[in-house]
A and B are shown apart, each in its own frame.
Chain A
Amino acid sequence: MNDEGKRSQLFAVPEPPVGMGTGFLSDYWSSREPLPTIRGIEIWWYYIQRGVQTVLALPMSSIITVMTIAVSLFLLAGFLLILQNVGQLLNEAGNALSMTAYIKAEASEKDVTNFIRELETNSKVRSVSYTSKAQALETFRKDLGTHSSLLDGLEQNNPLPASVDVTLRPEIMANISPEEIASQLRRVAVVEDVVFGSEWADKMAGVVRIFRAFGLLTLLIAMAIIVFLISNTIKLVIYARREEITIMKLVGASDGFVKIPFMIGGLIQGLIGSAIGLSLVKLGALALNYQLQGSQVLGVTIPSIAFLHWWAAAGLVILGLAVGAIGSFFALGKFINV
Chain B
Amino acid sequence: MPEPSREWISLYHVDKVYPPNQNALRNIDVKIQRGEFIFIAGASGAGKSTLLKLLFAEERATRGQVILLGRNVSSIAGEQVSGLRRSTGVIFQDYKLIHTRSVLDNVAFTLEVIGVRKRERHKLAYQMLNALGLKDRVDSLPMTLSGGEQQRVAIARALINRPQLILADEPTGNLDPDMTVAVFNLLLEANRCGATVIVASHNLSLIEEINKRTLVLDRGRLIGDFSHPRG
B119: min CB distance to chain A, Å: 9
Q: Would you call A151 an interface residue if the criterion is a C-beta within 8 Å of the partner chain's C-beta atoms?
A: no
Question: Which residue of B is nearest A244, CB measured?
Answer: B98
Q: Would you call A38 an interface residue if the criterion is a C-beta within 8 Å of the partner chain's C-beta atoms?
A: yes
Query: By the criterion CB–CB under 8 Å, are B133 and A20 in contact?
Result: yes
A-B contact count (CB 8 A): 139
Query: By the criterion CB–CB under 8 Å, are A28 and B113 in contact?
Result: no
Query: By the criterion CB–CB under 8 Å, are A21 and B116 in contact?
Result: no
Interface residues on A, range: 35 or more
Q: Would you call B69 an interface residue if the criterion is a C-beta within 8 Å of the partner chain's C-beta atoms?
A: no
Interface residues on B, range: 35 or more
Q: Would you call A247 an interface residue if the criterion is a C-beta within 8 Å of the partner chain's C-beta atoms?
A: yes
Within 8 Å by CB of A248, from B56, B90, B113, lies B113
Q: Would you call A37 an interface residue if the criterion is a C-beta within 8 Å of the partner chain's C-beta atoms?
A: yes
**Interface class of chain B by DSSP:** helix
Query: By the criterion CB–CB under 8 Å, are A13 and B188 in contact?
Result: yes
B136: min CB distance to chain A, Å: 14
Query: By the criterion CB–CB under 8 Å, are A20 and B182 in contact?
Result: yes
**Beta-carbon contacts of B60-88 to A below 8 Å, as 1s and 0s?**
00000000000000000011001111101
**Beta-carbon contacts of A292-327 to B below 8 Å, as 1s and 0s?**
000000000000000000000000000000000000
**Could you tell me which B residues sit within 8 Å of A by CB distance?**
56, 58, 78-79, 82-86, 88, 90, 92, 96-100, 109-111, 113-117, 120-121, 124, 127-128, 130-133, 157, 159, 161-162, 177, 181-186, 188-190, 192-195, 205, 209-211
User: Which 6 A-B pairs rank lowest in CB-CB distance, beginning with the nearest?
Assistant: A252-B86, A29-B193, A252-B85, A21-B186, A37-B115, A20-B182
**Could you tell me which A residues sit within 8 Å of B by CB distance?**
3-4, 7-8, 10-11, 13-14, 17-26, 28-30, 32, 35-39, 43, 46, 57, 241, 243-244, 246-255, 257, 338
Q: List 12 A-B contacts (CB under 8 A).
A: A18-B185, A19-B185, A20-B185, A21-B182, A23-B131, A24-B131, A28-B162, A35-B111, A244-B98, A250-B90, A251-B157, A252-B114
